[in-house]
A and B are shown apart, each in its own frame.
Chain A
């Protein structure tokens, strides 16, 4: 992760800067995802999903916990019994899906930023003929001197 940040700050090349940002962000994704892993668990895709109708039924009559039930437990949830991970309803342990969702979003945001950044680089190149920060600063300085 730090290498990415290092690249961003240290390099004067605009494209390399963006690569650095990419590295940095990808590493942050890794941080998130690594904390979602549950040892010995499966990806959060529930095997043999309850059939559509069953689920409705189960929501209605069975002892399955509804969201409201879960919420009632909030105060003690932070100290949940490990056994509850192997919930009988689910049968197996699954890795935590929430960070996955967040990172999906973050990846897309990252590529959006990248696209805008690259578009800017292209225009900068057209305007200045270079994509090195120092050279751009020089060009601006010269323009300033010429103007005054």
Chain B
């Protein structure tokens, strides 16, 4: 009986558990206790997301009425193939980041702050899941802010290591808030035009009344607002610092989830709320989104190649990779959208692993710059191997998940006749070879730093971070051989979104 209650309310609990868990975690005085509790909560959240996943995989979309109020009066949670992918991803990454985080947090944050830190982290996870799960446009804003404010705080916690974390967090706060406010303006205009806030309902009303200037302005505001959160080129300036100065556990989590969730929101708005195929939307795809995406792919890859700080390198590469996803969704075809979604999923896997590996190296040897990674292949062989595999995945080498997403992206571009996009993908991949190759070369070909008696420094990495790292590394290989899970979901989602708009 009670188990049934649990299952039938999984949609609500997947958000509520980490939220309440976070509130409790902040009260637990001991660092270890708070961490264990957070881990339990994250595990519970992950299990709940699996319940949702299995529900969706069995072919039925789930909707959940908050407070039992029917939509559009109440807030409706709607779970389909699209967001269940995100929910699973976020909860899994939250769990892994926690698993990974303990030793790094010991080093990076004052001990008496740990409980509150973990509490904030859980709230951040909950916020991102909330954004993904809800079907109400204004509720999106609320949860976007839950996740954003907690993110600002978490990023700022890197200040013990480097004071630049403070300015990074502040800039993120300013731009993030502007983004959120633009989003609210957009939602307000939509409400003005339709009188409702439920996203499906908005699209229904829009389909009846057609678009007018209010709707078009709303569209622009929402795209820009979410663009800021996505770090869509050229609105990405906050991202490199925020990722590279935050505590490493937060870097791992943010890099693999935060922008993805905002991107999901953009997809939701572009395809569910505004039906694709309207002239102004197609125009924006062709003349704004796609060129921006391509520019990001190339310019930011070049920028990444010139970074000396490892995490900044990865952060710039993230902006470039977001370009891939945007490119996919701006094609406006089922294949393109699905490719973008697959890349969204795969990129989370590889970037999460990369940030983890760099973090472990930082833990052992204080690595910040690429030059400091020299000889890592000898001093920390497991970490270096993990980093290499994830790096290869980033390049898009076969036998790694990165290949799958690039492959589908290229195919989608070809089907669309976008030759220039193919060229851009190729150029960007080649640039990825350079910046990943630089790391690999330094790790394996340069001699490790020697101690006084000319012995190689060997470092024993703590076990938990390595476990978390290898879960992701294995996932990177696994999803090459069996990409049916993300692909199935992505294809279903793309078909629902685009097919639904056409009918």
Contact = CB atoms under 8 A, between A and B. Distances in A.
Indicate yes or no for A touching B, C-beta below 8 A: yes
Interface of A: 5, 8, 14, 17-18, 21, 24-25, 28, 31-32, 35, 67-68, 71, 74, 77-78, 98-99, 102, 105-106, 109, 112-113, 116-117, 120-121, 123-124, 127-128, 136, 140
Contact of A35 (B142, B156, B181, B188): B188
B173 to A, nearest CB: 5
Contact of B205 (A31, A35, A78, A127): A78
B208 interface: yes
A32 B188 contact: yes
Interface string B302-323: 0000000000000000000000
Contacts of A68: 70
Contact of B145 (A5, A77, A98, A112): A112
B188 A21 contact: no
B237 interface: no
B32 interface: no
12 contacts: A5-B178, A25-B177, A28-B185, A32-B188, A35-B188, A35-B192, A67-B69, A67-B73, A117-B173, A120-B173, A127-B159, A140-B164
Contacts of B159: 123, 127
Nearest to A121: B170
A68 B500 CA distance: 26
A136 B188 contact: no
A31 B138 CA distance: 15
B23 interface: no
A105 B142 CA distance: 8
A21 B191 contact: no
Q: Which of B138, B174, B192 lies at the interface centre, i.e. has the most chain A CB atoms within 10 A of its CB?
A: B174
Given A14-B170, A105-B142, A113-B145, 6 more contacts: A17-B174, A21-B181, A112-B145, A127-B163, A127-B166, A140-B167
B366 interface: no
Contacts of A98: 191, 197
A37 B67 CA distance: 28
A82 B355 CA distance: 59
Interface string B189-213: 0011011010000000100110000
Contacts of B185: 28, 31
Given A17-B174, A21-B174, A28-B188, A78 B208 contact: yes
Contacts of B72: 74
A71 B196 CA distance: 13
A36 B184 CA distance: 15
Nearest to B142: A105
B500 to A, nearest CB: 18
Contact of B70 (A31, A71, A124, A136): A71
A133 B337 CA distance: 40
Interface in B117-172: 138, 141-142, 145, 149, 152-153, 156, 159, 163-164, 166-167, 169-170
Contacts of A109: 141-142, 145, 149
A147 to B, nearest CB: 10
Interface of B: 69-70, 72-73, 138, 141-142, 145, 149, 152-153, 156, 159, 163-164, 166-167, 169-170, 173-174, 177-178, 181, 184-185, 188, 191-192, 194-195, 197, 205, 208-209
Contacts of A105: 138, 142
A109 B138 CA distance: 12
Q: Which of B141, B170, B192, B194 lies at the interface centre, i.e. has the most chain A CB atoms within 10 A of its CB?
A: B170
Q: Identify the 3 closest CB pairs spanning chains A and B, nearest first.
A: A127-B163, A120-B170, A109-B145
B153 to A, nearest CB: 6
Contacts of B188: 28, 31-32, 35, 99
B170 to A, nearest CB: 5
A63 to B, nearest CB: 20
Q: Which of A67, A68, A106, A121 lies at the interface centre, i.e. has the most chain B CB atoms within 10 A of its CB?
A: A106
Contacts of A8: 174, 178
B364 to A, nearest CB: 21
Contacts of B73: 67
A120 B157 CA distance: 10
Contact of B149 (A21, A106, A112): A112
Nearest to B189: A31
Nearest to B175: A8
A110 to B, nearest CB: 8
Given A28-B184, A35-B188, A78-B209, A124 B167 contact: yes
Nearest to A112: B149
A21 B167 CA distance: 17
B153 A116 contact: yes
B205 to A, nearest CB: 6
Contacts of B153: 116
Contacts of A14: 170
Given A67-B70, A99-B191, A127-B163, A113 B184 contact: no
Nearest to B168: A120
Nearest to B176: A113
Given A28-B185, A113-B145, A120 B156 contact: yes
A20 to B, nearest CB: 9
Nearest to B73: A67
Nearest to A31: B188
B143 to A, nearest CB: 11
Contacts of B138: 102, 105
B145 A78 contact: no
A120 B163 contact: no
Given A123-B156, A136-B167, A21 B142 contact: no
